[in-house]
Structure formats: structure tokens, C-alpha cells
């Protein structure tokens, strides 16, 4: 009788266990669906961000001609946009940590859309500069909050996805530049063009709002006593690695056309191709960055990428002809494409594992981005100064050396985490 009752109880447990298993599987499936929806929303928002930036870049010649200003005056005006981005980064990281990245994404998306038409007003150079500052400020909030949401999704799903998200930004930039060229050819005024882009950006907030994960999912409580403490040294290391990559990126965007045209007498069309090649390689590299990082480890990707970029760019300059320019820009795009998003992802992983409660992942992401972005500001004048002193071809050996230094730094730094 006892045996019969025990056997009966055992049989009765099976359906209960099966029911619990089904509930668990449903919960996992729901989590996966939520993560996938949020991932796609972040990708879409990065794409929109890139289209906005590309649209702005495409109309730069129109800003200059409408305002009737010199190259130097235009350069100073553009610095206001970069200044807005830099000043926003730390605030964006803290806001995402305190309130969650979701509300920061939605508010900054609307602000990006509202401010960009002001850039196209072109009443005078001071209004233009002020509009650039506020637009850059909103862009910084948008970029950091999106990256913070991406890092949170990586940690929730235990899979890499930030590099692919940034690939959408690069792709959006290409689309924006192309569309901007069409609008310029059709003689649509910058204001009307950017007003249309702004409306689309604002509407994009409605598309993503129900797909992002709730604000509570990545709020980070950092104790008040830790607020005034020095940031972990490893975050500074990641930022310096980002500086090396950012200088290489800035060199590719600013100096490829000048090198091809002035040093090797390329036509205007051919002179535009090195950066086009670099941009395509950036998209391809970032689309594959997450998969390669998951397979080989982020540290190894940084090392290999740095060596490819540095040695390839240096070899191209030593070849000393137009083919060398294309070869160098190819290697540069391939090598540095995924570096900055992978560094942001790594910053989030490291502080979550080693410094929980001391610094929020979103603040670490903002810190790495801020240090790296300063290099984008410094690279053009530094390379220009060196170009006057030793020729542009030899000056470009400096970012090649920095890319190799990045690889060596990644090799020596303690970058390994439980997620590779």
C-alpha cells in the first residue's frame, strides 16, 4: 500500500514539473522577445541618428555659401556642435543611470528632431553656431542613452549586440549623405530639407517607445559616497584606447580626399572614394563585430584590429601612390570599425563585474565615449600642423602608429571579463 501511494505521488509530480517547465520556457521566450524588440528599436534609432548626421554633413557647402563665410569661420562654427556633444556626455551618462536609459532616449530623440531644422535657418553665423551647439548637445544625449540601453541588453541577454547597433548608425550616415546630395541637387533649401528630417526623427520616437525595455531595467543605484571617488583606472585605459581609434577614424574622414587630390593629383570624384571605401568597411566591420567578439573575445578583436589598421595604413603610405591610399583606407576601416562600440560594451561589462555600486555602466560608457570624442576634435588640427611640417603622407604615419599602440595597449591591459 505504501509503495502504491509513493508511486502515485511520483506520478502526480510529473505533470507539476512539466507545468513548471512550460512556465519557465514561456518566461524565457517572453524575455527573448522583449530583448529582440528592444534591440531592433535601438538599431532603428541609431539608423535615424545616422541619417540626421549624414543629412547635416551633405549640406555643409550650402551653409558656407548661404552665410558667405570663409573656411576658417565655418570651422569655428562647426566646433560649437562638437562642443555641445562633449559637454552632454557626462550628463547623459548620469541621467541614464538615475532615470533609466528609456526616458532619456525618447526625450533626446524628440530634441534631436526639434533642433536640427534650426541648423538650416542660416540667419547669421551666430544663430547657426548656437543651433549647432543645442543640436550637438541633444545628439550626445541620444548617442549615450542608446549605447547604454544596448549595453544593458547585452548584459540581460548575455550576448554581444552593440557593434551591430553602431553599424546602423554608419549605414544611416551613408544614406543621409546620399539623400542630402539629392536634395542639394534639387535645390531644396537646407531648412526645408532638415525640417523634413526633423519631423521624421520626432515620429521615430513613436515607433520605438513601446519596444524599448522599461526604465527600471538599467537604472543603476550608485551610493552617494562613491560619487566623488576617482573613476576606476581601467575606464581611463579604455578611453585612451578609444582615443587611438578615434584619431584614426578622424584622419580617414578628414584627410583621405585631400591626400588623394593634392599629393597624387586625383580627380574630385576619385578623391571622394577613399572615404567611401572606409565607410563601407566600417559598416561591414561593425555588422560582424559582435559575432567575432563573441567567438574570439573582445580583447583579441581589439589587438588584431589595431595591428591591421596600423600596419595597413603605414604600408599604404610607404607604397606612395594612389593605390596605397586606397589600401591604407581599406585596412583602416577594417581594423578600427568595431573598436569604439566594443570598448563601450567592455566598459559596461567591467564596471558591472568589478565596480558594481561604485560607477554605473551608463556612466562608464559616457566616460569612454567622452575621452574618445576629444580625439575627434584634436585630430584635424594636429594632422594639419604635422602636414605643414613634414608633408601629409608622413603625417598620416602618426595615426598608423597610434593604431599599433592601441593594439599593444589592448594586449597588455586587463580587459578580460566573464563575457570574453
Residues 6+ apart with CB under 8 A from 164: 43, 286, 287, 289, 290
Q: In this predicted structure, what is the pLDDT of residue 418?
A: 65
Are 386 and 259 spatial neighbours (Cβ–Cβ below 8 Å)? no
Question: Model confidence at 22, in pLDDT bands (50, 70, 90)?
Answer: low
- Tell me: the pLDDT tens digits for 279-306? 899 999 999 998 998 888 899 999 999 9
Segment holding 244, helix H or strand E: helix 233-258
Q: In this predicted structure, what is the pLDDT of residue 11?
A: 42
Share of residues in the chain with pLDDT > 70 (%): 89
Q: In this predicted structure, what is the pLDDT of residue 218?
A: 79
75-92 mean pLDDT: 86
Residue in the structure block whose three cell numbers are 568589478: 354
pLDDT above 70: residue 73: yes
Q: How far apart are CA 320 and CA 260, in angstroms?
A: 11
Torsion angles phi and psi, residue 186, rounded to 5: -80, 0
Cβ atoms within 10 A of the Cβ of 210, count?
Answer: 8
Question: In 69-124, which ranges are continuous DSSP H helix?
Answer: 71-99, 101-119
Are 351 and 220 spatial neighbours (Cβ–Cβ below 8 Å)? no
In CATH, what number does 225-420 get? 1.20.1250.20
Cβ atoms within 10 A of the Cβ of 34, count?
Answer: 18
367-387 mean pLDDT: 82
Lowest-confidence range among 7-11, 192-196, 341-345, 392-396? Answer: 7-11
- Residue 261, judged by CB atoms within 10 A of its CB (0-12, 13-18, 19+), counts as middle
pLDDT above 80: residue 358: no
Say which CATH topology domain 1-219 has: Growth Hormone; Chain: A; (1.20.1250)
Q: In this predicted structure, what is the pLDDT of residue 396?
A: 92
- The per-type count for the chain, helices as H runs and strands as E runs, is 16, 0
pLDDT above 90: residue 20: no
pLDDT above 90: residue 340: yes
Domains 1-219 and 225-420 share a fold: yes
Are 367 and 93 spatial neighbours (Cβ–Cβ below 8 Å)? yes
Q: In this predicted structure, what is the pLDDT of residue 419?
A: 62
Q: How far apart are CA 70 and CA 355, in angstroms?
A: 49
Question: Does 256 or 285 have the greater pLDDT score?
Answer: 285
pTM for the model: 0.82
- Tell me: the pLDDT tens digits for 232-244? 888 999 999 999 9
- Tell me: the pLDDT tens digits for 97-107? 889 999 999 99
Q: In this predicted structure, what is the pLDDT of residue 10?
A: 44
Q: In this predicted structure, what is the pLDDT of residue 227?
A: 53
Domain residue extents for the chain: 1-219, 225-420
Q: How far apart are CA 417 and CA 353, in angstroms?
A: 8
pLDDT above 90: residue 193: yes
3-state helix, strand, coil in the chain (%, to 5): 85, 0, 15
Are 120 and 59 spatial neighbours (Cβ–Cβ below 8 Å)? yes
Q: In this predicted structure, what is the pLDDT of residue 33?
A: 86
Please list, residue by residue across 165-193, b when 16 or more beta carbons sit within 10 angstroms of its beta carbon and e when fewer do: bbbbbbbbbbebbebbeebbeeebbbbeb
CA distances from 80 to 77, 138, 143 (A): 6, 13, 17
Q: How far apart are CA 51 and CA 204, in angstroms?
A: 12
Lowest-confidence range among 21-25, 103-107, 307-311, 388-392? Answer: 21-25
pLDDT above 70: residue 224: no
Reported for 233-237, long-range contacts at CB under 8 A and 24+ positions apart, including other chains, are 234/350, 234/354, 234/413, 234/414, 234/415, 235/347, 235/350, 235/351, 235/359, 235/364, 235/367, 235/368, 236/371, 237/409, 237/413
Q: In this predicted structure, what is the pLDDT of residue 229?
A: 60
Q: How far apart are CA 383 and CA 302, in angstroms?
A: 24
- Could you give the 3-state DSSP secondary structure of residue 70? coil
348-353 mean pLDDT: 86
**Residue 189: closest CA among 108, 236, 120:** 120
Q: How far apart are CA 404 and CA 199, in angstroms?
A: 43
- Tell me: the pLDDT tens digits for 305-331? 999 999 999 999 999 999 999 999 999
Question: Does 415 or 226 have the greater pLDDT score?
Answer: 415
Q: In this predicted structure, what is the pLDDT of residue 252?
A: 81
Question: Does 119 or 271 have the greater pLDDT score?
Answer: 119
Locate 251 and state its grid cell. Answer: 584622419
Amino acid at each position: 500500500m505504501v509503495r502504491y501511494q509513493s508511486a502515485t505521488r511520483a506520478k502526480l509530480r510529473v505533470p507539476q514539473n512539466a507545468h513548471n517547465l512550460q512556465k519557465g520556457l514561456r518566461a524565457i521566450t517572453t524575455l527573448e522577445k522583449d530583448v529582440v524588440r528592444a534591440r531592433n528599436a535601438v538599431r532603428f534609432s541609431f539608423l535615424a541618428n545616422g541619417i540626421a548626421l549624414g543629412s547635416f554633413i551633405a549640406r555643409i557647402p550650402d551653409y558656407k555659401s548661404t552665410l558667405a563665410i570663409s573656411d576658417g569661420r565655418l570651422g569655428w562654427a562647426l566646433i560649437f556642435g562638437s562642443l555641445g556633444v562633449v559637454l552632454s556626455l557626462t550628463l547623459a551618462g548620469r541621467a541614464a543611470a538615475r532615470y533609466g536609459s528609456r526616458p532619456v532616449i525618447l526625450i533626446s530623440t524628440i530634441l534631436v528632431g526639434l533642433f536640427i531644422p534650426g541648423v538650416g535657418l542660416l540667419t547669421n553665423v551666430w544663430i547657426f553656431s548656437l543651433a549647432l551647439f543645442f543640436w550637438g548637445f541633444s545628439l550626445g544625449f541620444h548617442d549615450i542613452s542608446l549605447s547604454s540601453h544596448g549595453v544593458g541588453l547585452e548584459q540581460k541577454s548575455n550576448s554581444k549586440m552593440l557593434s551591430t547597433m553602431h553599424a546602423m548608425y554608419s549605414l544611416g550616415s551613408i544614406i543621409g549623405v546620399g539623400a542630402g546630395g539629392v536634395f542639394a541637387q534639387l535645390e531644396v533649401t537646407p531648412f526645408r530639407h532638415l525640417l523634413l528630417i526633423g519631423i521624421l526623427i520626432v515620429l521615430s520616437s513613436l515607433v520605438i517607445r513601446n519596444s524599448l525595455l522599461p526604465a527600471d531595467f538599467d537604472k543603476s543605484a550608485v551610493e552617494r559616497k562613491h560619487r566623488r571617488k576617482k573613476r576606476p583606472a581601467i575606464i581611463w585605459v579604455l578611453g585612451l584606447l578609444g582615443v587611438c581609434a578615434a584619431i584614426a577614424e578622424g584622419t580617414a574622414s578628414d584627410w583621405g580626399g585631400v591626400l588623394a587630390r593634392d599629393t597624387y593629383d586625383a580627380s574630385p570624384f576619385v578623391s571622394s572614394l577613399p572615404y567611401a571605401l572606409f565607410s563601407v568597411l566600417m559598416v561591414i566591420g561593425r555588422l560582424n563585430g559582435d559575432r567575432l567578439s563573441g567567438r574570439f573575445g573582445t580583447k583579441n578583436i581589439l589587438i588584431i584590429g589595431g595591428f591591421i589598421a596600423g600596419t595597413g595604413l603605414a604600408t599604404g603610405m610607404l607604397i606612395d601612390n594612389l593605390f596605397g591610399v586606397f589600401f591604407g583606407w581599406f585596412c583602416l576601416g577594417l581594423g578600427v570599425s568595431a573598436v569604439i562600440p566594443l570598448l563601450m560594451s567592455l566598459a559596461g561589462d567591467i564596471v558591472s563585474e568589478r565596480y558594481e555600486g561604485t560607477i554605473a555602466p551608463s556612466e562608464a560608457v559616457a566616460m569612454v565615449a567622452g575621452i574618445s570624442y576629444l580625439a575627434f576634435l584634436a585630430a584635424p588640427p594636429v594632422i594639419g600642423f604635422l602636414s605643414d611640417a613634414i608633408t601629409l603622407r608622413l603625417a598620416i604615419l602618426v595615426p598608423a602608429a597610434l593604431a599599433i599602440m592601441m593594439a599593444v595597449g589592448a594586449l597588455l591591459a586587463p580587459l578580460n571579463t566573464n563575457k570574453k
